[in-house]
Structure 1
Amino acid sequence: MKKMILGLGALCLIAFTACKEDASKKVNEENVAVAAERDANSSKFPQITFTETEHDFGTIESKTAVETVFEYKNTGEAPLVITNIASSCGCTVPQDWSKAPLAPGETGKFTVKFNGSGANNVTKTITVTSNTETGRDMVKIKAFVKPDPNAEVKSHLATPQIQS
């Protein structure tokens, strides 16, 4: 058993000392240059800048559909890719944005439709998910929704008690 362990140890020693070739000779200089450029570019991000971050529809009638367009520009140093635009509720629908990369300096836009639900002051948030450094940017819409005059008025009075 001792001879077997001693033989295995000698074999391992020979194997490890045989691989003493200088590792720096195996490095391809072209790969080093490509990696250095990639690492330098990895700190460059796109940046999304909106022409307005909040749109006020003013006073609207209940159940009246309205829409607006949010315009933005890539003010960063890398292509901007918007992966998703979502609203805080189903009554607000973002649509029509480009999923293609937007080069630095280029502009884009998306439409937001609001169906006029709610009452009084209403504010909705739209979240833009992209490859910016923060990963998420937000815009808002707001409106004062006038109550529907044809809607049933609910009484807040207590139900009268029947006395026996």
Structure 2
Amino acid sequence: MKQIFAIFLTTFLLVTANAQTAADSAALLTLKETEYDFGKIPQGKPVTHIFEVINNGKDSLKISNVQASCGCTTPVWEKDKAFAPGEKTTIDVGFNAGAVGPFTKMITITYNGGITKLIYIKGDVWQTPATSAPENKEAVGLGD
């Protein structure tokens, strides 16, 4: 009976310790915002937003990958650099609006050995006119 209790207690303590370590690692990377709304943007005009990342942990933070959910979204970050506690960095997310209509794109940040955090961009793409505005012939010569 004592052996069963000892095994149970050891297992419980290991699970609790691992859960605490995972929670501490997840709290390491914090963001000023996890979602950005571009609002209405014109089709074919790339836009960017900068997400600020802060290391609020007690250990160093290393972002190993930032992966977008599609090819129209391009994240840029400082690769192969460890950030000390309290240090800040940025992730620049570019979006090239090819399709008309509302969009939501997910970006996965992977750090410190496989921990992930998600950020999102969204907006609404409007179609740019196929032709330019007609010339105003009445205005020609005004101001001469």
After TM superposition, the score normalised by the length of structure 1 is 0.61
- Find out whether 1:130 has 2:114 as its counterpart: no
- Superposed, 1:142-153 pairs within 5 Å as 142-150=122-130
What is aligned with 1:89?
70
Q: Distance in 2 between matches of 1:98 and 1:105?
A: 18
Asked if the contact 1:56/1:143 (under 8 Å) is kept, the reply is yes
What is aligned with 1:4?
none
What is aligned with 1:116?
97
Deviation, 1:98, is 4.0
What is aligned with 1:63?
44
Say which is worse superposed, 141-150 or 54-63, in terms of deviation. Answer: 141-150
**% identical equivalent positions:** 36
| Structure 1 residue ranges without an equivalent (≥5) | 1-42, 152-164
Report how many residues are paired.
110
* More strand, by proportion: 2
Q: Distance in 2 between matches of 1:131 and 1:51?
A: 19
| Structure 2 residue ranges without an equivalent (≥5) | 1-20, 132-144
- Superposed, 1:151-162 pairs within 5 Å as none
Deviation, 1:149, is 3.0
Q: 1:139 aligns with which of 119, 131, 136?
A: 119
Deviation, 1:96, is 3.3
After TM superposition, the score normalised by the length of structure 2 is 0.69
**Pairwise CA RMSD:** 2.3
What is aligned with 1:101?
82
